[in-house]
Each structure stands twice: as C-alpha cells, then as structure tokens.
C-alpha cells in the first residue's frame, strides 16, 4: 500500500524577514505543488528525490553522514521520522518526492515537501493528523533547512489560501474580495534562506535601533495592506509592496537581478512588485490588473527568465 499527498508553494506578499522577529507577514498559496509518495519498508527510511535524482537511506541514530544526498534529503527524513514519533509507530518507509516548485527560489519548496511528507506518512499509518499538527511537524523539518524559520512557509503550505501570520498572534485567514493575478519571475539564482536570515541578523545586531524602526515600519505597512486587501484596494496594496521592497533592500537582501526584474515589472504596468522569500536571488512577485497581466509577464520573459502566472489556491496539504 502507498499514499501520495501534496502541498502548495507559497508566495510571501509582504513582511518576509521581519516576520522572523515577530512582525506580521502576508502570504498566499499558489498552484505549484510538491508531491510525496510513501509506502512501508523494513527498518530504515529510504528517501528519493526525482527532481534532484538523489537517494539516501537514513538510519535512526546515525548522524553527520557526508554527501550531497544526505544533506539535501535529510529534511524529508526529519519530517517522516518526527511523524512516526508523534504517532508512536516504529517502521521503515520508502519516500519519493516529485515537486513542481523551483528549489531555493523563495517559493517554499522545502516546506511544501515537509507538509506533504507528514500528511502522506500519517495517512499511511491510518492516523488523521489535524492541520495544526502537520504544520508543527513541518516546522521541525524547516529548522534543519533555515536555522531560524519564521514558520510562515509550512503554515501556508499546510492551510492554503491567503493569511496574515505572526509568531505572536498566529494565523488569520484573509477575506480577499478581489481576484489577485500574480506574476512570478525567477532570477535563476539559487540561494540559501538560512544565509539570508543570517545576513539580516547581522544588521539587527550591529544597528539595533535603526533595525527596530525598519521593523516597526514593516509592521504598520503589513497591517495597512491587509486592510487594503480585504477592502479590495489593490492599487494601495501594490504601492505598499513597492515600499516593502525598499525596506528589504535596506536590510541587504535584494540583488541586481531582482532589481532588474522588479523594475521591469513596474514599467510594464504592475501595481506593485518586490522580492519574495529570502531574497539574494530566487523569485520576485508582481500583482497586476487583468488588463496588464500579460504585458507584465511578457516584459519579464523578455529578460530570459522563467515566469509563472498564477492565482491564489485555497487548498493546502491534501491526499491525492
């Protein structure tokens, strides 16, 4: 018997990095999905990524194994292992990962894989873990990837839809009136979110008073923007995306290629455009009216990058 589960990618529309420090962020799920198929095995956990073309056998208690496969696939192992521990089950597993989500691009690939792994393993065992339990276990997997994760990636991959989230207040679903057209441009530059978080930590440590002002501005911006979204004022929301990008640039997480994509999108008529996720490469996101959506996407494609035109998906982790 085998079970396949999937979870969606995410886009952070506002508030990334500052969410690590307890400020709110707005994120949504998009319809690119990571799929994980699991079946029972002997006493070990075997993980294979079809995307990386890597495989690794993991044994409980055996740590610090050298090699690319071990390093890249260990988060999947952690998600599977922690699910078994939660359910008090001792069994081996075979885990196969097949994801549509670009890796190291700011779209929450590792979190979607983790959430899908937890859902698939728990369903295989015959236990229906609630969404909050799935989210909590997925966060444990994310700690290996991102050092000090905010928790927003596994939250949106688990719940789907559009949310405002903070470590302090948790999750609130946003009631969005207007259909949101999202255009995502991928710089093609892979980067480590953990390293970007570390970079911002340096700014916060060396210039605490200045960083505090920037964080407060980010909080006010996100709260105003959430109100704009629920009122259907996408013009104001887009302007605040532009301001938020300026704050992220100020703490050092943009790069030349991101700036090129962002300003191209704005010039083509986007209501707002900014980096999304950890920055330093990865992806940017723009919103546009239905009339300008195609022009923005074509403008980005003219730069020779991969472009995704998508909308918010309201279904989170699920069994296929």
Q: pLDDT of 48-106, one tens digit each?
A: 999 999 999 998 877 767 788 988 999 999 999 999 999 999 999 999 999 999 888 88
Give yes or no: residues 24 and 135 share one domain.
yes
Please check whether residue 39 is in contact with residue 94, taking contact to mean a CB–CB distance below 8 angstroms.
yes
Domain extent for 146: 2-174
- Condensed to tens digits (0 to 9), the pLDDT of residues 204-257 reads 999 999 999 999 999 999 999 999 999 999 999 999 999 999 999 999 999 999
pLDDT at 147 over 80: no
Look at strands 2-14 and 92-99 and give their pairing.
unpaired
* Residue 227: Cβ within 10 Å count: 13
Give yes or no: residues 90 and 224 share one domain.
no
Nearest to 7 by CA among 44, 38, 42, 33: 33
* Model confidence, pTM: 0.86
Helix (H) or strand (E) holding 319: strand 318-319
Residue 26 phi/psi, 5° resolution? -110, 130
HSE-CB of 147 using CA atoms within 13 angstroms: 13
Give yes or no: residues 218 and 145 share one domain.
no
- Report CA-CA distances (Å) from 220 to 23, 63, 163, 271: 9, 44, 16, 20
Give yes or no: residues 8 and 153 share one domain.
yes
Q: Cβ contacts of residue 176 below 8 Å, gap of 6+?
A: 162, 229, 230, 312
Q: Which of 174, 192, 212 delimits the end of a domain?
A: 174
Catalytic residue among 153, 186, 228, 233: 153
The reply to whether 319 falls in a domain is no
Query: Among this protein's residues, is 233 annotated catalytic?
Result: no
Give yes or no: residues 227 and 126 share one domain.
no
Average pLDDT, the chain: 93
In 52-141, at which residue ranges do the beta strands (DSSP E only) sit? Answer: 54-58, 92-99
For residue 58, what is the domain's CATH number? 3.30.230.10
User: How many domains does the chain divide into?
Assistant: 2
The reply to whether 148 falls in a domain is yes
Task: For residues 319 and 187, give the distance between their C-alpha atoms in angstroms, rounded to a whole number.
Answer: 32
Please check whether residue 113 is in contact with residue 97, taking contact to mean a CB–CB distance below 8 angstroms.
yes
Q: Quote the pLDDT of residue 64.
A: 66
């Amino acid at each position: 018997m085998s079970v396949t589960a999937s979870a969606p990618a995410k886009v952070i529309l506002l508030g990334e990095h500052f969410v690590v420090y307890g400020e709110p962020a707005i994120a949504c799920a998009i319809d690119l999905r990571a799929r994980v198929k699991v079946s029972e095995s002997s006493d070990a956990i075997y993980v294979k990524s079809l995307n990386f073309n890597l495989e690794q056998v993991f044994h409980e208690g055996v740590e610090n194994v050298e090699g690319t496969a071990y390093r890249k696939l260990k988060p999947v192992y952690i998600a599977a292992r922690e699910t078994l521990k939660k359910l008090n089950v001792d069994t081996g597993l075979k885990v196969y990962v097949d994801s549509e989500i670009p890796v190291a691009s700011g779209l929450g690939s590792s979190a979607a894989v983790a959430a899908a792994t937890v859902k698939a393993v728990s369903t295989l065992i015959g236990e229906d873990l609630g969404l909050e339990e799935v989210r909590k276990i997925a966060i444990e997997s994310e700690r290996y990837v991102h050092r000090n994760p905010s928790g927003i990636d596994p939250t949106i991959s688990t719940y789907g839809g559009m949310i405002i989230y903070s470590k302090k207040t948790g999750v609130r679903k946003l009631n969005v009136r207007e259909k949101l057209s999202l255009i995502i441009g991928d710089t093609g530059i892979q980067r480590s979110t953990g390293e970007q978080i570390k970079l911002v930590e340096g700014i916060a440590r060396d210039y605490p008073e200045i960083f505090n002002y920037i964080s407060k501005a980010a909080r006010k911006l996100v709260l105003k923007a959430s109100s704009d979204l629920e009122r259907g004022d996408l013009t104001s929301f887009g302007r605040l995306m532009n301001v938020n990008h300026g704050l992220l640039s100020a703490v050092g997480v943009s790069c030349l290629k991101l700036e090129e994509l962002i300003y191209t999108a704005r010039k083509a008529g986007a209501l707002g455009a900014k980096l999304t996720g950890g920055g330093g490469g990865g992806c940017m996101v723009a919103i546009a009216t239905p009339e300008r959506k195609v022009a923005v996407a074509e403008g980005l494609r003219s730069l020779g990058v991969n472009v995704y035109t998508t909308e918010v998906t309201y279904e989170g982790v699920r069994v296929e």
